[in-house]
Structure 1
Amino acid sequence: MTKDKKIRITVTLECNSCIQKGIINKKGVSRYITQKNKHKAPHRLEFIKFCPYCHKHTIHGEIAK
């Protein structure tokens, strides 16, 4: 029998510049949902994504659940 291990997990990416500017209270925060392989990528993910609140491409980092 094989063990049912969850290798791929769902992570949420959040705009880093919105958090630093304090836009959270006014408009909101840009969030994306993606998956990662926790064995191949044990560190936190960071991607450059478009933020509709900043109106530009910014770094979106993984947040803890």
Structure 2
Amino acid sequence: MGANSRKAILVCEICLSRNYSQTKSTLTQKERLVVKKFCSSCNQHTTHKETR
């Protein structure tokens, strides 16, 4: 990770399990990440949001 990036943990909106982590640029992205990903607990594609 560079000086201007940080690790973002993604949590499923349905079951609240923390499934994924991504690096996020702090210079270009000011809002929280919102990504549609597969949740192995729900066994379906759901919306995942970044936690703080």
TM-score norm. by structure 2 comes to 0.87
Q: Which runs of 5+ in 2 are unaligned?
A: none
Match of residue 30 from structure 2: 42
Shift of residue 31, structure 1, vs aligned partner = 1.6
Picking from 14, 18, 23, the partner of 2:15 is 18
Distance between the aligned counterparts of 1:47 and 1:30, measured in 2? 13
Which of 37, 45, 49 is matched with 1:57 structurally? 45
2:29 and 2:47 map into 1 onto residues whose CA distance is 18
Query: % of aligned pairs identical?
Result: 29
Q: How many residues align?
A: 51
**CA distance in structure 2 between the partners assigned to 1:55 and 1:11 by the alignment:** 22
Report which of the two has the higher share of helix.
Answer: 1
Unaligned runs of 5+ residues in structure 1 are 20-28
Counterpart residue type for residue 7 of structure 2: T
Is the CA contact 1:13–1:61 (under 8 Å) kept in the aligned structure 2?
Answer: yes
After superposition, the CA RMSD in angstroms is 1.4
After TM superposition, the runs of 4+ consecutive aligned structure 1 residues lying more than 3 A away are: none
